[in-house]
Amino acid sequence: MLVKGPETALADVQADWDEEENLIDSNLAFYDLKHLQHRNYEFAYPTFDSLSKDPVQLPSKGDVINYLHGGNDIVIRLPNTSKFHLEGEDHDGNEEWFEFNPFAWLPIGVGLNEEKSGDLVTAEPEWEWYFDDDFHWETVLQLGAAIRNTGSGYHDPRPPKSGPAPKSRSMPPPSAYFPSPSIQELASNNVNGLLAATVKFRSERPINGGFKESDGQIYFLPPHPSRDSGEFIRGILEREYGFDVEHQPDWVEHYALPNEDEFRNRIEQIEMEISDIESGVQEARRYRSILFEGDDELEEMVPEVLRRLGLDVDGEVPGGRDGAIKLEDQTFILEITGQSDGVDHQKIRQLEDHLDDTASEGYGTNRTGLLIFNHFKYRDPTNRQLTTANFKDRLEKRDCKLLTTVDLYQILCDYEREEIDTEHVVGMLTSGDTIIRANNPLCQSAGQTESRLGRLRRRLSEIM
């Protein structure tokens, strides 16, 4: 949440009127223009950079339009007038006060007609809390189309230094205006004068054959006479956005019991522990990819799984073998692959070629081929059939073995549960079995880890 103007502990991003804010740093922005009206003597007109006073900084119309179409809201607390003055310099360097329009940065024309608004106010039911019996405002809100200009909206207010007065311009064509705003009335007086409203804007270009209204909107709200800036922001957050905002003055944050810091430090320690646990969860989830990925990803992940099991894996040759498991007296040459169907002879042939190449190189000792295969990779592992009759004989002719990634994942589960160790894994590889099988059924998660971590994080956030 961005707050422009008054300081408040509720703000995530705080910017004074002479500070340049970045709208995209927030999802909700408060602009208290009544606050600027009361402090106008402190700042210079936006286009003056050379004065002792810093100029007012406001976003461009283009930034506002993009912000609203991104689904973000702007809440404006209105001043009593649409025309007040900020200091500048004339062409001779003399100080002068120039009329300032506090709404020129918005993509909609805004006027405030200082008529008697009367004490009779009709408000939408969800806004009756704001326009209560204590509300009184003698200004009527006027909204209309604005000239399409995605820039600042503020120009040098000084008349030309010399020469004839500029020629009057004809009315601009309709295409020169921003798309017609969609105005929703929130409150009006007894003579139908608009007091408060929300405004949305159509998209500049058609989307799916039509013009979509912005998901975000601008709130134009008059100041309540008995609510200051902080109470205004707190009330909007609670009533319009449903946030539970603690009712306490900003200065109370400077006071705390001695044990509060101890509690906060403990919370920080728990947060760090949660972060470590979450990192472990994410690391563990990475290994699930061997159940559904294809060649490139498997060639990277499977050796990592084998190393996690305590095996020595290296010897990858680009365009050739996918690595090797090196034992004391035996070397397993690897071909790693994943396919949408069952085991085929092409991959076995590639494994045989790897064995021939390593023999020519003299790489390894007592070489055995190991085909690590992710078969039927798009199916749930519990529904995968492995028919060995069409390839087992060929594997045995070259003393090769097969390990599916489903069984590899099962083996990793058993290892992480400390039901087996590296020596046991080596025994499975060096046994006389052509098809290496895991001992236990595939382990499946109960799916509760993430939700428990989420609940704990939310609880810590509530405490903080």
pLDDT tens readout for residues 66-110:
899 889 999 999 998 888 889 998 888 888 889 999 999 998 889
Lowest-confidence segment of 147-161, 181-195, 341-355, 420-434 by average pLDDT: 147-161
Q: How many secondary structure helices (H) and strands (E) does the chain include? A: 10, 17
Which of helix, strand or coil describes residue 194? strand
pLDDT given for residue 83 in this prediction: 82
Q: How far apart are CA 148 and CA 198, in angstroms?
A: 20
What's the rounded mean pLDDT across residues 305-313? 95
Please provide residue 311's backbone torsions phi and psi, each rounded to the nearest 5 degrees: -90, 155
Report the share of the chain in percent with pLDDT over 70.
86
Q: Residue 287: which of 274, 298, 275, 276 has the closest Cα?
A: 298
- The whole-number pLDDT of residue 116 equals 59
Does the pTM surpass 0.75? The reply is: no
Q: Other C-beta atoms within 10 Å of 189: how many?
A: 19
| Distance from C-alpha of 406 to C-alpha of 442, rounded to nearest angstrom | 8
- Cα–Cα separations (whole angstroms), residue 260 to 172, 256, 303, 377: 63, 6, 49, 53
For a pLDDT cut of 90, what percent of the chain falls above it? 41
Retrieve residue 152's tokens.
């600042």
Examine the pLDDT at 218 and tell me if it is beyond 70: yes
pLDDT number for residue 57:
94
Q: What span, in angstroms and rounded, lies between the C-alpha atoms of 304 and 238? A: 50
CA 216 to chain centre: 16
Model confidence at 448: pLDDT above 60:
no
Whole-angstrom Cα distance, residue 220 to residue 78? 7
User: What is the average pLDDT across 402-431?
Assistant: 93
- The gap from C-alpha 308 to its chain's centroid, in whole angstroms, comes to 33
**β-sheet bridge partners, residue 200:** 182
Cα separation, 39 vs 17, in Å, equals: 9
Q: Tokens 């589960």: give the residue.
A: 413
Tokens of 119: 């004490």
**Token digits of residue 444:** 């499946």
In this predicted model, what pLDDT tens digit does every residue of 261-294 receive, in sequence order? 788 788 788 878 877 777 777 777 888 889 999 8
**Better-predicted residue by pLDDT, 256 or 206:** 256
Residue 134 confidence (pLDDT): 84
What's the rounded Cα separation, in Å, for the pair 310 and 418? 13
Give the least confident one: 172-181, 337-346, 363-372. 172-181
- Integer Cα distance of 171 and 112 in angstroms: 22
Angle between helices 295-308 and 405-416 (to 10 degrees): 30
What's the whole-number mean pLDDT along residues 61-70?
90
Neighbouring C-beta atoms of residue 92, cutoff 10 Å:
7
Q: Alpha-carbon distance 338 to 361, whole Å? A: 27
Q: Which residue is listed with tokens 């160790």?
A: 421
Stronger pLDDT, 122 or 306, i.e. the higher one: 306
Q: Which residues contact 48 (CB under 8 A, 6 or more apart)?
A: 55, 87, 88, 89
Structure tokens at 65: 């339009």
Residue 192 CB neighbour total at 10 angstroms = 9
Do 58 and 23 contact (CB within 8 A), yes or no?
no
Residue 324 has pLDDT above 80, yes or no: yes
- Average model confidence (pLDDT) across the chain: 85
Confidence of residue 248 (pLDDT cuts 50, 70, 90): low
Span 376-386, pLDDT tens digits: 998 999 888 88
